[in-house]
Amino acid sequence: MAKPMTKTQLVAALAEEMDTDKKQANKALDSLVNVITREVSNGGAVTLPGVGKFYCRERPERMVRNPATGEQIRKEADKVVKVTVAKALKDSVND
């Protein structure tokens, strides 16, 4: 498995793809992350065509088991961020 791309590498690749400098590419990436974070944290969803959908899902209160002791404990209701990967991206991996 290849090593994950770092933010620096992503910014450099984005700058090359956009035919701009790294400063502008970094600003675009940070803006995109801020928009997604704000929208999902407010209960909305963001779809990036060809990539996937980011959304928040509420999980109900439930019983969970402590793996160290085996003790059953009650876990409060919480929210979790989910990502559904787009079919186009899945298909591109298997080509």
Taking the C-alpha atoms of residue 50 and residue 89, their distance in angstroms, rounded to an integer, is 6
C-alpha count within 13 angstroms, C-beta hemisphere, residue 62: 8
| CATH code of 79's domain | 4.10.520.10
- Six token digits for residue 27: 């600003």
Q: What is the domain range of residue 23?
A: 1-42
Q: Residue 48: what are its φ and ψ, rounded to 5°?
A: -100, 110
Cα diameter, the chain: 57
pLDDT at 94: 86
Reported as a single tens digit per residue, the pLDDT across 61-90 is 999 999 999 999 999 999 999 999 999 999
Both 36 and 62 in one domain: the answer is no
Is the pTM for the entire model greater than 0.85?
A: no
pLDDT of residue 64: 94
How many folded domains does the chain comprise? Answer: 2
37 lies in the same domain as 2: yes
Percent of the chain surpassing pLDDT 90:
95
Residues 64 and 85 in one domain: yes
pLDDT at 35: 97
pLDDT tens across 34-61, in order? 999 999 999 999 999 999 999 999 999 9
Using DSSP's 3-state secondary structure scheme, residue 81 falls into strand
Q: Are residues 75 and 36 in the same domain?
A: no
In percent, the amount of the chain with pLDDT more than 70 equals 100
**Residue 91 Cα distances to 14, 50, 52, 72, angstroms:** 22, 10, 13, 41
Pair 14, 33 in one domain: yes
Where does the pLDDT of residue 1 fall: very low under 50, low under 70, confident under 90, or very high at 90 and above?
confident
Structure tokens given for 46? 């963001």
